Amino acid sequence: MKSLLGLSLSEIQEIVNQHGLPKFTAKQLTEWLYKKHCGSFDEMTNLSKSTRQLLSENYTTGYRNHITVQESKDGTKKYLFPGGDNFIESAYIPDKERATLCVSSQVGCKMNCLFCQTGKQGFQENLPASDILNQILNLPEYEKLTNFVFMGMGEPMNNYDNLMRTLNVMTSDWGLAMSPTRITVSTVGVIPYMKRFLEESKCNLAVSLHSPFHDERMKIMPVEKAYPIREVIHAIRQHDWSGQRRVFFEYIVFKGLNDTSDHIKELAKQLGSLRCRVNLIRFHNIPGVNLQSPTNEDMIRFRDRLNDKGIIATIRASRGQDIDAACGLLSTKEMNNL
């Protein structure tokens, strides 16, 4: 049956009209779904009994409870949700007054980046907007959330329509009424959809960079062949970055591979004058990948040398590593047998 979660007010209005229900039913439904987080038609008490029965017989709300949760010693929680016909993971990351949810957009990923556990899983399916939103709305800590990053499983731009449907619900007054500045969407640099995203959304953009050199980046990120990082950065430069919207570059640091003086010079050359921030992320070792994690001293030295070149760079703290919730570690390959 069709899920109502993820539908816009106008789409729900069409369903209401189709069944000859009172026009105001559409607003009632969006309030129950998006304001009150109601997962059952039976609990929508201001709808008539006949309306609730009709909806139950033809639709689902789209709410699906999480299956398991793991908690890290640092307070990070990793939730396992049903996603499409499979499973997905989301990471809840509390940090003082800030609480971030790392959201998944696909089951697995087809980008096959060398350093990413999700990529090792391969690609299963795109998540419908209902299952993307369900990670947010059905989270026990929802009321504590301040920020959202689409940096979980999958490449968001490869599920563009469902991504934009989700963002529409998140930022519309009839939906979750969130500020776009609280939402960041990550991409490896799928240029056509990235350009559309910049035009059609006001949310922040994060680009997985990881190396400024074409041949080197192609060895660890096959997408470089189709969308070279120089062309990705050029496309970003064409956009007007005035106002509060921000662009970030994610840079996983591999010891001795992409943290040399040459990398610093090339990063300064490519990113110079672009109003951006580089987030440095420590590589987390995964089985079968011959890449090394840098030391704390390596990370600090690299950050400081980038700052000296005029690039705003910060080190992102590794969170949830003990439960495989840190960057690049989300995977449900084994869980697909449940």
Residues classed as catalytic: 89, 327
- In the chain, the largest separation of any two C-alpha atoms, in whole Å, equals 70
Helix (H, G, I), strand (E, B) or coil at 170: helix
Give the residue carrying structure tokens 């089985």.
287
Using CA atoms of 206, 207, 212, 215 in order, give the dihedral in degrees to the nearest 10. Answer: 160
Measured CA to CA, the distance from residue 11 to residue 9 in angstroms comes to 5
Q: How many CB atoms lie within 10 A of CB 126?
A: 21
The residue written with tokens 């999958």 in the block is 154
206 pairs with which residues across the strands? 186, 248
Q: Could you tell me if 171 and 148 are in contact, meaning their C-beta atoms sit under 8 angstroms apart?
A: no
Q: Say which residue the tokens 């409870």 belong to.
A: 65
Residue 280, classed as helix, strand or coil, is strand
Three-state SS string over 91-123 comes to EEEEECCEEEEECCCEEECCCCCCCCHHHHHCE
Instruction: Give SS3 for 187.
Output: strand
What residues pair up with 283 in beta bridges, in sequence order? none
